[in-house]
Chains A and B, each alone.
Chain A
Amino acid sequence: MFEESITPMPASSPSGARVLAPEGEPIEFIYNGRRFHIHAIVSRWRESGGWWNRISDGKNRVTESTIFDDGARAIWRVEAAPEGALTTFEIELDEVTKTWLIRPTSRPQ
């Protein structure tokens, strides 16, 4: 049910969103110009796979450590708020490019 309400990534953040994660786990982030503080991690998961597809697509991102772009991502579903009501976000770390993506899964009030 969350999936339906995901809004697309703002086109204005091509180099990734700004997320504060000193120990690897996000604490704060900036979304739409506003700083959000994470109150709770609702769940987290990791995804990877499909490396073989990226060869034929030409989308294979080769890094120093591996030629396999397995599309590894770590995702946290969090409750965060600048002020007022809590909002649920998914914060995703693309582990290949080390860039962050943020998508709200419920609309900020």
Chain B
Amino acid sequence: MKSFTHLRVASGYSFKYGTAHADQLVERAAEFEMSALALTDMDTMAGAIRFTKSCEANGIAPILGINLSFIQKKYRITLLAQSGHLDSLYRLVTAVNLENSENLLTHSLLERFSQYSKNLLVLHGPESQLASAISARKSAEALSIYNATRELFADQAIECVSHLIRGDGQFSTSHAARALGFARDNHLSAVLSNAVRMLDRSDGPVADVLDAARKLVPLSNKSVSRQNSEAYFKDSSEMSYLSDEISRLAGERDGRSLLNTTTAWAERALLSPRKDVGIGAIHLPDAAALGAKSQGELTAQLRSRCEAGLSRRYVGSKSVVAASRLEEELSAIRTLGYESYFLTVADITDLARNRGIRVAARGSGAGSLICHVLGISGVEPITHGLLMERFCSPLRGELPDIDIDVESARRLEIYDAVFEKYGQRCATVSMVETYRSRHAIRDVGAALGISPMEIDLIAKSMPHIRSSNIPKALANLPELKDLNLNTPILKMAIELAGRLDSLPRHLSMHPCAIVLSDIGLGDYAPQQINASGYPMVQFDKDDVEAIGLLKLDVLGVRMQSAISYTLSEIERIEGAALDIDAIALDDPATFDLIKSARTLGIFQIESPGQRELVGKFAPETFNDLIIDISLFRPGPVKSDMITPFLATKYGLRVRPVIHADLESILQETQGVVVFHEQVIRIISTMTGISLAEADEKRRELGDIASQQLVCDWFYPAALARGYTSTVVAEVWEILRAFASFGFCKAHAAAFALPTYQSSWLKTHHTAAFLAGVLTHEPGMYPKRLILDEARQWGIQIAPIDVNLSDATYRVEKSSKETRAPYLAPNVLSSGAELKLPDARGFAIRMALSDIDGIDGKEIKSIISGRPYLDLADFVYRSGASRPTTESLLTIGAFDDLHKLSTSNINRRDLALHLQDLYRLAGSKSATSQGQMSFELQPEKFEPSGLPDITASEQVKSEIDILGMDVSSHLLEFYGDFLNKIGAVRSCDLIKHRSGTSVLVAGVKVALQTPPVRSGRRVMFLTIDDGHGCNDITFFEDKQADFATVLRNSWLFLVRGEIRRTGPRGISLLGTGAWELANSHEKWRNLAVYGASGT
């Protein structure tokens, strides 16, 4: 018997319809010894590349098609690409998606795009208009439907499908037989399919749940259309049996003819994974896209741009080294033919910079000198020992990957610029959202009509895991102890949720990737318009890489926006622009600030863990920053690479020298292997292979299976070069251990640059930088903590003022007296002194956008009406709503305008006056927005004699309206209490000995319970007290007593033991925690009691 070919198969990419993964279907076809298989998902081709890859791996010839609505939503047909014409199918699918709002294929679309449809085969199956006419016994009508598209397609066939449904309706054997009879009567082709949507007969319940989820209805006899489970992947003999049954019922002797036509049609649509689908191809932007006429011109363009960049950036002896490195890199690029890749990325970074948008490369691309001289990456690769080979080499058959970081606030501007310039050559990339446990449980629960409360409980307590792990997870969740998971319905729900595991659910836009290609992009991938209105290829990031499109990740980074804002504030205040990208990387003041661990707001090193690390490490150079960033990752932390590193750095350990040849490689990291680049160099040095080859070996180290192969090669190769077996064994041990923890130095260096830049800005332009941080919130801390940070450097926090505040935080020069800036105590042992910023003389003006409930339109209108003469004028002209105006008044935004500090009226009088104003307006005709027109001026207002609001009332309103304490730190109200009980200010902790038990107080900044090495739960509490942050660690033994307080309180009194960890590193080991207000209350009572008692 010849093998059958399924021409109509829906995979899970037929969202919420198909129950099987594309690769499962392919594997099943291989098991059944089928030679070809089609994928014809509903309305999308998102599975095409994965399917094709799987076909190639299983030795099956792929056929690609799509099942679409045709003419009317309810009628569907299946299109197949003829061999060699997949591009036509892509183009037509794109046309349907872009030109018809309902994604409906229409006659007029077919006529407009007949140059594509003419290369396609069409199957009129049971759901087609044609079949419905046959079924209604309207043969003439059926024939005219067939003839209407006769010229528009390469060929058409009647598709016979029997799912063995009872009776003679759709998908019954007699329906299929009648379709076959019609084909025979009119001499038309007929093929057999099984309209597959599941892998096995037992997948029926999964199909039902998907149907219910798609239609958003619970399962019921009415809502389910499935009558049996026959739409599964049948083998050749089952299909042959069906063919016989259908054919006999149509009056034929057997099903052979039907099977033969099916095979013949399959053969017309076979595709080559390489030639047709383009797996392994490369389609970079063409020369014309970059203003060149030929590949040769591109090569020349790249060279001249690189050389120009080189001479700008390198002088003297460095330029000689750089020039020879450039030659090497250019020759590698030439071999690879990647000129257009680099020129395109450079072009896009230029597009951004020309619009004044900050751009920085991230990732291994920083290792390439070409990236540096083209302005893609700001890090100088030669000084830092970064390698091109780690990024891109002729030995690797894949496109390099460059990611660029841009200002988050202006990311889409870059998209717009790229689309404007590259047009049809670019698109966004899709992302397949798959069923994870929470979604799966929710959809199953809704389908089964399980009470929403129960489902919610299960879904919410569900960690983000694969849904096949659900049963195990549920058994371990204490929250679910009270739920009986053994009821039949919950058991079934959990089983079903597991079966939905990782099925595609929805196609959405990848958050940051775009693809660029040549003018033929539309031939390589079908497109649709995504929710944001950009064209999007239906392939995901792995797919586009597989077919060789240039994928560029454009990531929005808030720190870049904050830096950009800082620079604009500096220019506004100082009157001169600052080129942050040109600052020297060895500024001692900047490293003093970093060493002080006062790094709040700085990129990458502001977290409690990093503050502890920089305190211990005390980085002194840019390279130290790179090391710091590389060490602060789960792997190195877990394997404790930091301890030997620091021990050597501080002379507590003699650095082991393995071999003199490796000294230059390992010196920078105190003999500890931290970077991929070091591994590459070690391998290359000890075996004599090139860096590019060494990188291939490094990659193999990452995989346990191939690790042994590398080992088997490394020993003889290194021994042959004269290294002793001890050295070889020792080095191998390092390489093996390192495999999982190393970091790409280029990547860390790319991160270290904004880290340094933000540190530099914080050091030299503290107010402007913190205004940038407050405006763009790049970090992990609440704004109130950043405000407090500003106060500690002597910056005045200026309140919101209707005439002075903007939408964003502004820097002002100020003559107001502020507190003295923070001074780091000297280290007693070394006498090392830190020079820290003094930002007195500056103020940060609070922003209007922080008012609770205010919107952008209101802010704009308030600003455009400035200046205001008085409250009445503001109410009259500003366009602000009444709640906004009241909020502004409550927090003191009119205080200066009415000179409250020097007059006899106070804010309560002002509030009464505002009510008068609104009453007056209300007696006229108030508008619905709470705005009004004044014709009568209210009487001049007088002091009412009410007391002014107190400082604590002021702070309370600030917390209510702005969400932060502005006029004074929350803890100031407890100052007396804290002094009396001897609590220590955070900045003074360092003056105490290690091991001392102290009391500290503060406002909760963060409470984290990260997984740690031992597996025991540790709680990290960060609090601030107006003098900096305290980081307190609570181990398991203390959690029973204090976990509830830690979780539920905001203001804390904490008892802890001081741990000194380095020159300026300090942490507290928590031994007690109490709610501050409660403690205060108790103390007061005690004080009263104590007083009366004596």
Contact = CB atoms under 8 A, between A and B. Distances in A.
Interface in A38-59: 43-53, 55-56
A44 B164 CA distance: 7
Contacts of B224: 49
Contacts of A66: 202
Interface stretch (A8-16, A67-75, A98-106): A67-75
B165 A51 contact: no
A67 B487 CA distance: 12
Contacts of B208: 49, 51-52
Contacts of B229: 46, 48, 70, 72
B588 interface: no
Given A46-B164, A47-B166, A51-B205, A72 B492 contact: no
Given A43-B173, A60-B488, A68-B202, A50 B227 contact: no
A32 interface: no
B202 to A, nearest CB: 6
Given A67-B491, A67-B495, 9 more contacts: A43-B173, A45-B165, A45-B228, A46-B229, A51-B205, A51-B208, A67-B492, A68-B495, A70-B229
B166 A70 contact: no
A52 to B, nearest CB: 5
A109 interface: no
Given A55-B488, A67-B495, A70-B229, A48 B173 contact: no
B230 interface: yes
B174 interface: yes
Given A65-B202, A72-B229, A45 B221 contact: no
B204 A48 contact: yes
A49 B227 contact: yes
Q: Which 10 A-B pairs have the closest CB atoms?
A: A45-B166, A46-B228, A46-B164, A48-B228, A52-B219, A68-B205, A45-B164, A55-B488, A55-B489, A48-B229
Nearest to B168: A43
A60 B491 CA distance: 12
Contacts of A67: 488, 491-492, 495
Interface string B213-236: 000000101001011111000000
Point out which of A44, A52, A75 has the most chain B C-beta atoms below 10 A from its C-beta.
A52
B491 A47 contact: no
A53 B221 contact: yes
Contacts of A52: 205, 208, 219, 447-448
B455 to A, nearest CB: 15
Contacts of B257: none
Contacts, number: 64
A47 B492 contact: no
Interface in A70-85: 70, 72, 75
A82 to B, nearest CB: 26
A77 to B, nearest CB: 9
Interface in B147-183: 164-167, 172-174
Contacts of B447: 52
Nearest to A68: B205
Given A43-B174, A46-B230, A75 B166 contact: yes
A58 to B, nearest CB: 8
B1016 interface: no
A51 to B, nearest CB: 5
Contacts of B221: 50, 53
A81 to B, nearest CB: 21
Given A52-B219, A55-B488, A47 B227 contact: yes
B138 interface: no
B137 interface: no
A49 B495 contact: no
B204 A55 contact: no
11 contacts: A44-B173, A45-B165, A45-B173, A46-B228, A46-B230, A49-B204, A52-B448, A60-B488, A67-B495, A68-B492, A72-B228
Contacts of B230: 46
Nearest to B490: A55
Point out which of A49, A60, A70, A75 has the most chain B C-beta atoms below 10 A from its C-beta.
A49
A75 B167 CA distance: 12
Given A55-B488, A68-B492, A49 B166 contact: no
Nearest to B245: A44
Contacts of A68: 202, 204-205, 492, 495
A66 B204 CA distance: 12
B228 A47 contact: yes
A44 B167 CA distance: 9
